[in-house]
Amino acid sequence: MSARVRRATNLRERCGGGRVRSSVQRLGGTVMLAVVAATLATPASLHKEPWMNKSLSAPRRADLLLRAMTTSDKLALVHGVRRKEHPFTGYAGYVPANRRLGIPALRLADGRAGVGNGARKVTLLPAPLAAAASWDTSLMRDYGRVLGEEEWKKGTNVFLGPTVDVVRVPEWGRAFETYGEDPYLNAQMAGAEIQGVQSQGPIADANMYLTMNQETGRFQADSVVDERTLEEIYLPPFRAAVEQGHVGTVMCAYVQTNGSYSCQNPHLLDGLLRKALGFRGWVLSDWGATHSTVASAKAGLDQEMPDGRYYGAALEKAIQDGRVSEGLLNAHVRRILVTMFRHGLFDKPQHGNWNAVATSRKHAMFSREVAEQGTVLLKNEGHLLPLAASGSIAVIGADGGTEPVAEGGGSSYVIPPYVVSPLEGIRQRVGQKARVTYADGSKMTEAANVARAASVAVVFVGAPESEGRDRPNLELPGRQDELISTVAAANPNTIVVLNTGGAVLMPWIDRVRAVVEAWYPGQEDGNAIAAILFGDVNPSGKLPLTFPRTESEVPTATAQQWPGVQGVSIYSEKLEVGYRWYDARHVQPLFPFGYGLSYTTFRLSHLQVNPRSLSAASELSPTSPPVEVSVKVTNTGHRAGAEVVQAYVTEPAATGEPPRQLAAFAKVFLKAGETEPVQLTLRRRAFSYYSVAARRWVCSPGDFRVEVGVSSRELPLASEITLR
């Protein structure tokens, strides 16, 4: 098996061998099954209708059905209903079935790391940011498959995820839902997850479109951002969702972009999404993000959620008055129908329901695998890690025992079947071989005494994040920084494990010997971190976002940028988002983008770039062969492990592009002493920039530098390509 495709589970080294919603209304089993049966039932006569002919194309079937629909039928499809209007169980959104025409109900459910909206008997996966930290698109595709399978078993046919927005503000309360700060990394992960979700039946929903980069004032906030930045930073993940993931729906966001709300912004919906990206699915609104009837309909919003405040009676009247044409309504309905036909909702039987058991032992073990592969080793002074399962170990902090932070809040919240605390995981791992003591950290003296009496102290700290609010700053909340310093003073062998949804400051970094970022690790939290701490799994995660040294050393440090002044957020950093800002301003971060340590060592060598000279007019046309980069990777240590090879491109200064932008990456798993070639493909966009004057992506002649390494700041290999 090629080392490029080997999964981490085959290389473990074993020791010795939208929205914050109200509580869910529940129905009795009999009533619920009746609702599902009514939803799924299709009269036998409908099988003879022309639009039920599976041999026809999705657009043709939609056109045939559209001709049979009345205006009332059409209006019923372009908005959701409230529970008081039509009882339904659990789902965040619901569009009733049209049994006369055989149109199935749409059941929309939340949950970026599992089925949300109060569902039970489901798996809590690690946060998407944790999965992205694996830098493994095959793992992310499987992540989507697990999500899609469980949503489908619960009766969901529209999954309200993933969140593909780029992390612009480090304090953003929904950073944990995303894939990080880089457009290319986000794009690759988004495409992979969407493919996985949709392979299991549900239609995925890329959200939140566009410039949804903060929670503070999100219902009115206006993002003032230039066109080049939109194209180069915030649009690429949605482009990948469309082109690679073939996503069925896109959710327009709460925020405004350049003075116009997302769900009534013709430039965003019609100009960029449909014309520039070629999106063929339907656009639905975030819950309560619709602000108008006529403006939204003309801008390209197809479906209002969760109700019909603007797309019910108001839209019907607008059609009667001639302010909205029947043809425009037909266009909205047709996009919904074509997508439903294309994804098989008319043809695939869905017998799942909200009470079904969706989780499994296999999914639980996959949750653990994601947590293990996404964990990032940030510091390991004197090779303190991995630990030996002997001696005495002090576990300190509420996050390690009584209150593990395993997930984020808001519409992402999942009710887990269980959560293994780090204390439980460590005790189970060491058994009787080591003495494990615990202090919850509420009393500094007790924590110090417990730490002092142990040979090693592991401090677990967390920073909760949730939809609806940004973090006030990048500090660990409460007295957790003080707790770490107190323990470090009592025990020189102190390890810090972070359970956070994004970057945090570390004023104690020089006083501890090891730091591990575990993100929000899901239900297998304790088992996964024990596997990392004791070396059963060699950490291979890489940071999907930058960790700054101070609060002021971030790209969005001014109030005008975040949270904004008088409801307006100025994107004055432009292209310098995340690590681009640190590189352009020559600011040293605490830990750079793409960074992560291992228990083994790797060497990169034999860089080759082909071709070395290109013609902008021909060889970089959209149909031309890409640039191929090859490098050899050797595991020079004594343990099996994985490395992420990263390629960055620096364009000529005349382009005005930031230095060193991620253009390709690949994760390779190697045994001790093994060498494998890795090939990276650099696409045309890596050598282009968006010209506002030309209104398209263009290539500038000059020398392009290609650097290859293991983080944005560790790039030992370099070559140049000349663009004639």
User: Does the pLDDT at position 275 exceed 80?
Assistant: yes
CA dihedral 382, 384, 388, 392 (to 10 degrees): 120
Identify whether 16 is part of a domain.
Answer: no
Mean pLDDT (whole number) for 187-214: 97
**Which of 624, 614, 619, 609 minimizes the C-alpha distance to 679?**
609
**How many beta carbons lie within 10 A of that of residue 244, not counting itself?**
16
- Look at residue 611 in the predicted model and tell me its pLDDT: 85
Comparing 34-38, 466-470, 565-569, which segment has the lowest mean pLDDT?
A: 34-38
Radius of gyration (Cα) for the chain, nearest Å?
26
Q: Are 310 and 292 in contact (CB under 8 A)?
A: yes
Arithmetic mean of pLDDT over the chain: 92
- Look at residue 614 in the predicted model and tell me its pLDDT: 73
- Look at residue 724 in the predicted model and tell me its pLDDT: 80
Identify whether 458 is part of a domain.
Answer: yes
**16: pLDDT confidence band, cut at 50, 70 and 90?**
very low
Give yes or no: residues 493 and 607 share one domain: no
Mean pLDDT (whole number) for 707-716: 98
Give yes or no: residues 479 and 417 share one domain: yes
Identify whether 14 is part of a domain.
Answer: no
**Which of 125, 688, 678, 674 minimizes the C-alpha distance to 360?**
125
Reading the block at residue 592, the tokens are 């750079």
User: Does the pLDDT at position 101 exceed 70?
Assistant: yes
Give yes or no: residues 312 and 418 share one domain: no
Reading the block at residue 356, the tokens are 């079904």
Identify whether 359 is part of a domain.
Answer: no
Comparing 40-44, 432-436, 701-705, which segment has the lowest mean pLDDT?
A: 40-44
Mean pLDDT (whole number) for 439-464: 97
Q: Catalytic site residues? A: 286
- Look at residue 44 in the predicted model and tell me its pLDDT: 55
Alpha helices in 544-657 (DSSP H): 579-584
Mean pLDDT (whole number) for 287-296: 98
Give yes or no: residues 699 and 651 share one domain: yes
- Measured CA to CA in angstroms, residue 403 lies from 351, 420, 424, 519, 619 at distances of 37, 11, 12, 15, 57
Identify whether 513 is part of a domain.
Answer: yes
Identify whether 201 is part of a domain.
Answer: yes
In tens, the pLDDT along 332-365 reads: 999 999 999 999 999 998 888 999 999 999 999 9
- Look at residue 35 in the predicted model and tell me its pLDDT: 40
Q: Is 511 exposed, middle or buried (CB count within 10 Å of its CB: 0-12, 13-18, 19+)?
A: middle
CATH of the domain at 675: 2.60.40.10
Give yes or no: residues 36 and 103 share one domain: yes
CATH of the domain at 306: 3.20.20.300
User: Does the pLDDT at position 711 exceed 70?
Assistant: yes
Give yes or no: residues 113 and 238 share one domain: yes
Q: Are 181 and 133 in contact (CB under 8 A)?
A: no
**How many beta carbons lie within 10 A of that of residue 550, not counting itself?**
12
User: Does the pLDDT at position 7 exceed 90?
Assistant: no
- Look at residue 622 in the predicted model and tell me its pLDDT: 56
DSSP, collapsed to helix, strand or coil, labels residue 351 as coil
Domain holding 388, by residue range, is: 375-568
Q: How many domains does the chain have?
A: 3
C-alpha to C-alpha distance for 722 and 318, rounded to whole angstroms? 57
- Look at residue 6 in the predicted model and tell me its pLDDT: 44
Q: Are 614 and 624 in contact (CB under 8 A)?
A: no
Phi, psi angles (nearest 5°) of residue 102:
75, 20
User: Does the pLDDT at position 72 exceed 60?
Assistant: yes
- Look at residue 12 in the predicted model and tell me its pLDDT: 40
Q: Is 98 exposed, middle or buried (CB count within 10 Å of its CB: 0-12, 13-18, 19+)?
A: middle
C-alpha to C-alpha distance for 256 and 222, rounded to whole angstroms? 4
Give yes or no: residues 641 and 544 share one domain: no
DSSP, collapsed to helix, strand or coil, labels residue 124 as coil
C-alpha to C-alpha distance for 480 and 507, rounded to whole angstroms? 11
Give yes or no: residues 178 and 249 share one domain: yes
Using DSSP bridges, classify how beta strands 702-709 and 717-723 pair: parallel, antiparallel or unpaired.
antiparallel
Identify whether 366 is part of a domain.
Answer: no
Type and span of the H or E element at 183: helix 183-198
Reading the block at residue 98, the tokens are 């049209």
Type and span of the H or E element at 362: helix 361-374
Of 300, 322, 342, the residue at which a domain comes to its end is 342
CATH of the domain at 388: 3.40.50.1700
DSSP, collapsed to helix, strand or coil, labels residue 528 as helix
Type and span of the H or E element at 634: strand 627-635
pLDDT above 90 coverage of the chain, percent? 88
C-alpha to C-alpha distance for 558 and 414, rounded to whole angstroms? 34
Q: Are 62 and 341 in contact (CB under 8 A)?
A: yes
In tens, the pLDDT along 601-649 reads: 999 999 999 987 776 654 445 566 689 999 999 999 999 999 999 999 9
In tens, the pLDDT along 497-517 reads: 999 999 999 999 999 999 999
- Look at residue 17 in the predicted model and tell me its pLDDT: 34
C-alpha to C-alpha distance for 676 and 1, rounded to whole angstroms? 12
Reading the block at residue 204, the tokens are 């995925």
Give yes or no: residues 334 and 385 share one domain: no
- Look at residue 616 in the predicted model and tell me its pLDDT: 61
Of 545, 568, 591, the residue at which a domain comes to its end is 568
Pick the more confident residue, 622 or 416: 416
Q: Are 460 and 526 in contact (CB under 8 A)?
A: no
Mean pLDDT (whole number) for 161-190: 98
Q: Are 138 and 102 in contact (CB under 8 A)?
A: no
Give yes or no: residues 188 and 317 share one domain: yes
Give yes or no: residues 291 and 393 share one domain: no
Residues in Cβ contact with 347 at an 8 Å cutoff, skipping those fewer than 6 apart: 54
User: Does the pLDDT at position 375 exceed 80?
Assistant: yes
Of 517, 546, 568, the residue at which a domain comes to its end is 568
Mean pLDDT (whole number) for 568-582: 98
- Look at residue 109 in the predicted model and tell me its pLDDT: 97
Helices (H) and strands (E) in the chain, counts: 18, 26
Identify whether 639 is part of a domain.
Answer: yes
Give yes or no: residues 400 and 335 share one domain: no
| Cα dihedral sign, 686-687-693-695 | negative
Reading the block at residue 196, the tokens are 């996985």
Mean pLDDT (whole number) for 78-98: 91
Using DSSP bridges, classify how beta strands 494-500 and 514-517 pair: parallel, antiparallel or unpaired.
parallel
**723: pLDDT confidence band, cut at 50, 70 and 90?**
confident
Mean pLDDT (whole number) for 191-201: 98
